[in-house]
Amino acid sequence: MLTSEPKQEERQLATAPDGGRKRWWSRTAIAPLALLASAVAVGGWLLTRSDPADDRLLVVDEAGAISLLDPETGEASFEVPGATATPDRSALLTTETTGDDTVLESRDPVTGSVTGSTTLDTGELTVRTVSPQGQAVALMPGPRGEGIYEPEPRARTSLTVSYLDDRASRTYDLAGNIEPEIFSYDETGLYVLEFVPPTEPDSYYVRRLDLATATMTDTGAPQVGLNPKMRGKARASVLHPEGDQLFTLYTLPQTGDPVFDPQAGGDSPLHAFIHVIDLKEDSSYCIFLPAPIGTGDEATVGMGISPDGDEVIVADPSTSTLARVDTAELAVIETVEVEKLRGSGAKAAVAMAENGSVYIGSGPMLLELATPRLQASRVWSQEATISGLSLSASGGEIRVGGGGAITLIDRSTGAEKAVLEAPGRGTVTLLGPPRGSVTEFPLECAC
């Protein structure tokens, strides 16, 4: 289980001096643009919502370039190579190395123009994760590898945290094999994965790095007695729309040790679960998913979250099963056998609408599941494998990415409106409207 050990462990880590030499952020460039989107205050944080009138779509091509696509014309407003979108899509971040320096830039997601930059004198760095509110950035040396769950063997880790405001950056020299996962809600901590053994990693723990003191502790968990050492694979991650909970879907191979639910007497083998990190309370929790989820082709299991954050949907095409999860109670509401959901060897894409309708892409097939039965009310088929789903800001259109193209479908009639050529080539990922609410979290994993 990916929970914390009952005993709090605290270790002092050595830190390096401030890695930033010069910084500036164009507040005047950012503030007027932010007024174009509506916003609501949530616990002291300004939660950015998408503009219902802006139905444009941020897309990522196979090479990692982000573009803003106009569905009316099919034209891309800009293309930013090697960019990382903040979870709330309020900015696009890029890095460029010159000599021994790395320049971190932010760009406006509507215009593509540079809104700020800072220079970090710690060699070549790349963005690894961004805080839910998009103001804190964790970077590490060298290019991205195969993902945070496939680390390179190393005994120590250098990690730099920079900010999109006037806070000074800092570089941490950490003992062990560390990969950053997500920042705490208030940006005072960074949740990381600590891989063990560090030079021959085969499992990992979830830890919290205090950014002020550079100490690392376990995350507290109410499920006492669960093994905190994790060997499973993360398949998908989503954020609660308020940015205060991270839900990560894990599966364990059928050939390994299963996960056991202690409430079931320890004799119910479970091979899939959702690990929840409360980014406000600094705690973690495991939601066990009942069989048959995760017992077939585990790499095809996908997940999505409702627009209001009340519910998470897990789809397992290889077992034709769907699970509904209550995000407040942290419990499975029900599991449903979906008759027309079939395995295709491809990872499921999941999107949810405000009226409760669920859209699942499995291989070339797209299903619309209507409430309350959650059975297929409509089925579409295309030649290419579906690599991403997204609803328009207005909610009237489902966008289907696959095969280097994006198909636009009218939700009310089910009719295909247009097929757009995606910028770049190959697999296309759909990020949704610019300045959208926090939903999907960019998980780097060997899925």
- 44 pLDDT band, cuts 50/70/90, is very low
Helix (H) or strand (E) holding 171: strand 170-175
pLDDT at 215 over 50: yes
Q: For a pLDDT cut of 70, what percent of the chain falls above it? A: 77
pLDDT for the residue numbered 325: 97
335: closest CA among 289, 399, 371? 289
Q: For a pLDDT cut of 90, what percent of the chain falls above it? A: 53
pLDDT for the residue numbered 1: 23
Q: What angle do CA 308, 432, 377 make, to 5 degrees?
A: 65
Q: Confirm whether 444 is domain-assigned.
A: no
pLDDT for the residue numbered 151: 79
Q: Confirm whether 366 is domain-assigned.
A: yes
User: Parallel, antiparallel, or unpaired for β 92-98 and 66-69?
Assistant: unpaired
Q: Confirm whether 445 is domain-assigned.
A: no
Give the whole-angstrom CA distance, residue 82 versus residue 63: 7
Q: Confirm whether 299 is domain-assigned.
A: yes
The pTM (predicted TM-score) of the whole model is 0.82
Q: Total domain count for the chain?
A: 1
pLDDT for the residue numbered 223: 56
Contacts of 418 (CB under 8 A, 6+ apart): 71, 74, 407, 408
pLDDT for the residue numbered 143: 72
What rounded mean pLDDT belongs to the chain? 80
Q: Confirm whether 108 is domain-assigned.
A: yes
Q: What is the per-residue pLDDT across 252-291, written as a single tens digit (0 to 9) for each?
A: 776 655 555 555 555 556 788 999 999 998 888 889 899 8
Give the whole-angstrom CA distance, residue 132 versus residue 90: 10
pLDDT for the residue numbered 35: 22
Bond preceding residue 132 cis, omega within 30 of 0:
no
158: closest CA among 123, 108, 199, 205? 123
Give the whole-angstrom CA distance, residue 292 versus residue 310: 24
Mean pLDDT of 185-189: 96
Domain that holds residue 229: 11-432
For the chain, helix (H) and strand (E) counts, in that order, are: 1, 38
Q: What is the per-residue pLDDT across 333-386, written as a single tens digit (0 to 9) for each?
A: 999 999 999 998 999 999 999 999 999 999 999 999 999 999 999 999 998 999
3-class secondary-structure state, position 28? helix
Q: Confirm whether 5 is domain-assigned.
A: no
CB atoms within 10 A of CB 156: 13
pLDDT at 39 over 70: no
Q: Confirm whether 162 is domain-assigned.
A: yes
User: Parallel, antiparallel, or unpaired for β 349-352 and 331-337?
Assistant: unpaired
Mean pLDDT of 391-398: 90
Q: Confirm whether 314 is domain-assigned.
A: yes
pLDDT for the residue numbered 202: 84
pLDDT for the residue numbered 361: 96
Highest mean pLDDT among 62-66, 85-89, 177-181, 422-426: 177-181
Amino acid at the residue 279: L
Mean pLDDT of 286-304: 91
- 432 pLDDT band, cuts 50/70/90, is confident
CA atoms within 13 A on the CB side of 304: 23
Mean pLDDT of 100-128: 93
DSSP-assigned beta bridge partners for residue 102: 97, 120
Mean pLDDT of 37-42: 27
- Classify residue 230 by its DSSP letter: B
| CATH number reported for the structural domain that contains residue 241 in this entry | 2.130.10.10
